[in-house]
Amino acid sequence: MALAADAVPREGGQTPAAGSAAMSAPAMGTSRPAVADGALGRKRGPGALAAAYLVLYNVVMTAGWLVIAVGLVRAYLARGSYHGLYYSIEKPLKFFQTGALLEILHCAVGIVPSSVVLTGFQVMSRVFLTWAVTHSVREVQSEDSVLLFVVAWTITEIIRYSFYTFSLLNHLPYLIKWARYTFFIVLYPMGVTGELLTIYAALPYVQKTGLYSITLPNKYNFSFDYHTFLILSMASYIPCRGRRSWATWRTTAKWNERAATLHPNAVGSGPPRITYAC
């Protein structure tokens, strides 16, 4: 399901498979070319045009999430309350979160080196929460849990797209790199909590209205219970014996990236060992 901070960097709209000399310098976890340069006798990927497009994409997305952040602050100052702030940024949130679908395309056409499957899962999970839960169940839009994950997403995406923009330009400030691999410690649990509480709040309304559910009999002889689907989605956050949940797997991966990026010479850095039991 949707998760607040990317524990495995989502590169779908950010870094080129290979680029011009000015834009293809590796940055940890993001700017590594998908293929080596011609000096190693391998075919180069997309060049300066792809890199320029990705810079533009990331600049636009950074600006979009900044608009959302400013909208939240202005609405809070005007109302003097954080309740119902979702309505002040509903349209830009839907637009820019849906715009992340392009990241799947970037992976599919090969201008970035990330997995289409992993990128698709991460992007679609957020799009799902944006449209199939928060948009479709209007009763939850005033819940404080929505603001919780919206704030987490907003800060995360401003940092993430800024990180990719500066990495592509080969001028990555340490502060942005540090924020990219540090803020998730707070933003990730904050976002996950908001997402789970929002889905939980939607359950009674989904069950009452039968939203998106398909009952038998019908000509396709197929049934689907959206209420049950949401419960299973929530369960996917929970680690069980012998299995990491998607959430804990991504958290562990992010800690490993943080250690490798910010403390490359440290031994044994990272989070405590996590055991999983139902």
pLDDT digits (tens, 9 = 90+) for 67-104: 999 999 999 999 999 999 999 999 999 999 999 999 99
Cβ atoms of 29 and 112 closer than 8 Å? no
Say what the pLDDT of residue 238 is: 80
**Peptide bond just before 217 cis, omega within 30 deg:** yes
Residue in 188, 220, 257, 276 annotated catalytic: 188
Residue 22 has φ and ψ, to the nearest 5°, of -80, -20
Residue in 11, 103, 143, 195 annotated catalytic: 195
Say what the pLDDT of residue 209 is: 97
Residue 44 has φ and ψ, to the nearest 5°, of -75, 150
Other beta carbons less than 10 A from residue 166's beta carbon: 19
pLDDT tens across the length of the chain (278 residues): 544 444 344 544 566 654 443 333 333 334 333 443 444 444 454 589 999 999 999 999 999 999 999 999 999 999 999 999 999 999 999 999 999 999 999 999 999 999 999 899 999 999 999 999 999 999 999 999 999 999 999 999 999 999 999 999 999 999 999 999 999 999 999 999 999 999 999 999 999 999 999 999 999 999 999 999 999 999 988 865 555 555 555 666 666 676 677 777 764 545 444 333 33
Cβ atoms of 9 and 257 closer than 8 Å? yes
- The conformational region for residue 238 under phi > 0 = left, psi -120 to 50 = alpha, else beta, is beta
Cβ atoms of 90 and 147 closer than 8 Å? no
Cβ atoms of 135 and 157 closer than 8 Å? no
Exposed/middle/buried for residue 125 (C-beta within 10 Å: 0-12, 13-18, 19+): middle
Say what the pLDDT of residue 244 is: 52
Say what the pLDDT of residue 252 is: 65
Can you tell me the distance from the alpha carbon of 35 to that of 24, in angstroms, rounded to the nearest whole number?
11
Structure tokens at 27: 């940055």
Q: Amino acid identity, residue 227?
A: H
Structure tokens at 120: 């698709």
DSSP state of 214: B
Residues 6+ apart with CB under 8 A from 101: 123, 127
Q: Which of 215, 208, 155 is nearest to 182 (CA)?
A: 155
* 195 flagged as catalytic: yes
SS3 label, residue 106: helix
Chain centre distance of CA 5? 6
Say what the pLDDT of residue 245 is: 53
Instruction: Please give the radius of gyration of the chain, using alpha carbons only, rounded to the nearest integer.
Output: 20
* 188 flagged as catalytic: yes
The whole-model pTM stands at 0.79
Say what the pLDDT of residue 29 is: 37
Say what the pLDDT of residue 196 is: 96
How big is the CA angle at 250 (ends 246 and 255), to the nearest 5 degrees?
Answer: 150
DSSP state of 110: T
Exposed/middle/buried for residue 237 (C-beta within 10 Å: 0-12, 13-18, 19+): middle
Can you tell me the distance from the alpha carbon of 185 to that of 200, in angstroms, rounded to the nearest whole number?
23
